[in-house]
A and B are shown apart, each in its own frame.
Chain A
Amino acid sequence: MSEPAATQSPWQTVTITRIEKRTPRVTSFFLQPSRPFAYRAGQHVDVRLTAPDGYQARRSYSIASAPEAGETIELAIEKLDDGEVSPFFHEVAAVGDEVELRGPLGGHFVWSDGDGGPILLVGGGSGVVPLMAMIRHRAARKSLVPAALVFSARIWDEVIFRDELIGLDDRQDGFDLVLTLTREPARRPRDYSRRIDAQMMVQSMMRLPEPPSLAFVCGSNAFVSSAAQALIDAGVPAGIIRTERYGV
């Protein structure tokens, strides 16, 4: 355990340098840290906003960018209508604005190419964000660790990072993308149009050269519960499944 730094706050000011709409409900915010920020794919940050009366709100967001991506950190934030921090980002935040950030955080839901594989990634909605960091890290490292992403979204237009994921899939370098749409017909031959189940997991794992040594599942609590159960029903040992839940 490292000793606390006596003089330096764990919070740092970051500047929004770019804003990019990903889907109707998800927008990426690119943040420029004010001091060096080294992280691992899958980690998250806490973001803190302060009102003029001193009131503060903080929320955790997963990092979407790969550690190799350069100086800015990408957060892909879904707008929650009854939220407190996400509406600020979606409705108020502009390039040049500053917010406070703490991190990187989390030492469990992380993957580096040195950890090996194959890896099976299962994401629901914006739960794909930390998995995207792993996929981008794998690509940036030119890693040949076999990886499959099963990504569940409601509709085609809500598939976050869709073009980038399909582009990575097209490289045929050992990364395989399976999309499943729960409210629309599938668009590609290999894709599905239903909620994740054990059969889908079995078929997706057959795209890997051997059974996964690690599985990462991220999404809402309901999504993670059913997807993790589908993995277990498909024969994946519970001990290799790591989960991250939004908590709602």
Chain B
Amino acid sequence: MVTRGFSSGRKPPTDTDARIPPGQYLEQGFPVLSAGPTPRVRTEEWSFTLKHGPRPIKKWNWTEFNALPMTRMTRDIHCVTAWTKFDTAWQGVLVDDILADAGIEPPTAFTLALSFDGYTTNVPTKDLTAGKAMVALLYDGKPITADHGGPARLLVPHLYFWKSAKWLNGLQFTERDEPGFWELRGYHIYGDPWREQRYTGDP
């Protein structure tokens, strides 16, 4: 349905069209969204735990985690509130390298990302491995600010950004695909921006 009197005032240049998923617009800033107050997590009290169900597999403190192999990743990110930001530059530890340090292969097909504030989000394990995702510690070469999820956040850039959990403190392998915080509150179970899987009921 064409809207009377609305014209494409802000259409991006054609060469970037292919990088913007359907229904998204290009944002130059870096908006902040969250469901509650911003937790202030000090690195001295930070830890990261890999779990299989309720059972811890391995736990790292901040120093130990920073000693893991570091990888840089520059990716476009897509928020379900319809902004897309190009070329965000992150540095952190690939989920592959976390698994290698723990000496395990992924035990189940599904993972729940866990945060300090109780936030959770579910991601299929195959979307976290093979270089697709990391636990990011730096943004633009600097420690990630608390607003943006620091000290550490998950980065799963090929899914809507609510999957990239802020204030991450663990990954938990689950037997089933268990809906997380937003997935229980009307958002899509998988969240592929290119298929516009924003809300429950989207194909």
Contact = CB atoms under 8 A, between A and B. Distances in A.
B142 interface: no
B202 A88 contact: no
Interface string B22-50: 01010001011111111100000000000
B3 interface: yes
Nearest to B9: A84
B82 A58 contact: yes
A105 B34 CA distance: 15
A247 B31 contact: yes
A228 interface: yes
A10 B6 contact: no
Interface in A56-97: 56-60, 84, 88, 92-93, 97
B201 A4 contact: yes
A9 to B, nearest CB: 10
B5 A243 contact: no
A51 B201 contact: no
B3 A98 contact: yes
A177 to B, nearest CB: 23
A1 B118 contact: no
B185 A245 contact: no
Nearest to B188: A1
B130 interface: no
Interface of B is mostly: loop
Contact of B81 (A50, A60, A241): A60
B16 interface: no
Interface size class of chain A, counting residues whose CB lies under 8 Å from the partner chain: 35 or more
A50 B7 CA distance: 8
B70 to A, nearest CB: 29
A107 B31 contact: no
A239 B32 contact: no
B112 to A, nearest CB: 16
A57 B25 contact: yes
Contacts of A84: 9-10, 25
Interface of A is mostly: mixed
Contacts of A99: 3
Interface in A105-148: 105-109
B1 interface: yes
Contacts of A229: 37-38
A228 B38 contact: yes
Interface in B167-186: 179, 181-182, 184-186
Interface string B1-19: 1111111111100000000
Contacts of A51: 2-3, 6-8
Contacts of A241: 36-37
A50 B6 contact: yes
A84 B83 CA distance: 12
Contact of B11 (A4, A55, A59): A55
Nearest to A238: B37
B29 A248 contact: yes
A198 interface: no
Contact of B37 (A46, A109, A232): A232
Residue from B35, B179, B181, B203 having most chain A Cβ neighbours under 10 A: B35
19 contacts: A48-B23, A49-B3, A50-B1, A53-B11, A58-B82, A84-B9, A84-B25, A92-B4, A92-B5, A92-B6, A97-B3, A100-B1, A109-B35, A228-B36, A239-B118, A242-B35, A243-B35, A247-B31, A247-B33
Interface pairs A-B: 7 shortest CB-CB: A247-B31, A107-B185, A228-B37, A55-B8, A92-B5, A51-B8, A49-B3
Interface of B: 1-11, 23, 25, 29, 31-39, 79, 81-83, 117-118, 147, 179, 181-182, 184-186, 189, 199-203
